[in-house]
């Protein structure tokens, strides 16, 4: 095992790859030789992110396709695009799609609940079902779903988000069992609070930020690049005996 993070000749799809943790993981895969398609709703942001990463001289190349993770037709269009671009199948799927609407239970509207569930859980179900044949065609298959520490612990005003991420965690474990016979591994990464767009509301409120940090033994939010090693490990061909697992990257929150 000279270089366990050698991804040359590997093909990856990163949902949510133009921002936040998804963008950090995309950059790492490109840097180590993978060819990556990034996908999200925002075509302009996708183009800017992809052009920026391609200008860095990484070993791998980036391309992009817009997708609405809540739409089955849109997901099918994406999978058709991936199939045309990667004719030898797909090695790596990173699902970093997600949204969060914060409210106490008595203020959660039905539409809010449905939006979060559709983006965080129903979309993952349709995505996995649609991409299965491409993973099975490839020399090796790795799936990483970005869950959350709120899939196993929670926090006020996170009922919708925690429920969706808890569902994603157990969904991933179940698919890991089903796909083990094909040599496809399915794992999750559960980040704690990171300095990304999804936490903007927390970061703008200094008192709330400090309240969050008081729960974290390392007393700070994570930097986006601190997710990279966990992602590269689970995406690597060498992680072939790791499936159905969850790597928690949270500065110690869930241990305190």
Helix, strand or coil, per DSSP, at residue 220: coil
pLDDT at 209: 84
Token pair 């997710």 is at which residue? Answer: 227
pLDDT at 211: 84
| Residues 6+ positions from 132 with CB-CB distance below 8 Å | 179
Phi, psi of 114 (to 5 degrees): -65, -40
Report yes or no: 227 and 25 within 8 Å, Cβ to Cβ: yes
Q: Which residue numbers are catalytic? A: 161
> Rounded to an integer, what distance in angstroms lies between the CA atom of residue 226 and that of residue 109?
35
Q: What is the DSSP string of 123-168?
A: HHHHHHHHHHHHHHHSSSEEEEEE--GGGTS--TT-HHHHHHHHHH
Q: In whole angstroms, give the CA distance from residue 189 to residue 148.
A: 7
pLDDT at 1 (0 to 100): 56
Closest CA to 174 of 211, 125, 141, 130: 125
Query: Which pLDDT does position 146 carry in this prediction?
Result: 98
pLDDT under 70 in the chain at which residues? 1
How far, in Å, CA of 7 to CA of 203, rounded? 35
Strand partners, 65: 39
pTM attached to this predicted model? 0.95
d(CA 70, CA 40): 11
**Does domain 11-196+225-246 bear CATH number 3.40.50.720?**
yes
Confidence (pLDDT) at 136: 97
Query: What are the backbone dihedrals phi and psi of residue 40, each rounded to the nearest 5 degrees, phi first?
Result: -165, -175
Tabulate helix, strand, coil % of the chain (nearest 5).
50, 15, 35
H-run or E-run covering 210: helix 206-213
Q: What is the pLDDT of residue 201?
A: 72
Q: What per-residue string of b and e applies to 182-211 under the rule 16 or more CB within 10 Å gives b?
A: eebbbbbbbbbbbebebbeebeeeeeebee
């Amino acid at each position: 095992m000279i270089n366990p993070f050698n991804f040359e000749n590997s093909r990856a799809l990163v949902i949510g790859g133009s921002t936040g943790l998804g963008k950090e993981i995309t950059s790492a895969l490109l840097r180590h030789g993978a060819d990556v398609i990034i996908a999200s709703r925002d075509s302009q942001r996708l183009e800017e992110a992809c052009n920026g990463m391609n200008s860095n001289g990484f070993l791998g190349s980036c391309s992009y396709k817009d997708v609405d993770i809540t739409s089955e037709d849109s997901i099918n269009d994406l999978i058709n695009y991936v199939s045309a671009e990667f004719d030898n199948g797909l090695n790596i799927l990173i699902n970093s799609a997600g949204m969060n609407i914060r409210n106490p239970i008595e203020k959660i509207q039905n539409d809010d609940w449905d939006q979060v569930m559709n983006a965080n859980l129903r979309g993952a179900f349709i995505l996995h079902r649609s991409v299965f044949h491409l993973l099975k065609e490839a020399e090796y298959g790795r799936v990483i779903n970005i869950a959350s520490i709120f899939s196993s612990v929670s926090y006020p005003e996170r009922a919708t988000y925690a429920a969706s991420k808890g569902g994603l965690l157990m969904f991933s474990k179940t698919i890991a069992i089903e796909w083990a016979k094909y040599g496809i591994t399915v794992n999750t990464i559960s980040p704690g609070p990171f300095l990304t767009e999804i936490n903007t509301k927390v970061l703008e409120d200094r008192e709330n930020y400090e309240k969050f940090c008081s729960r974290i033994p390392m007393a700070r939010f994570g930097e986006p690049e601190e997710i990279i090693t966990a992602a590269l490990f689970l995406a690597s061909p060498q992680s072939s005996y790791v499936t159905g697992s969850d790597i928690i990257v949270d500065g110690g929150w869930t241990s305190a």
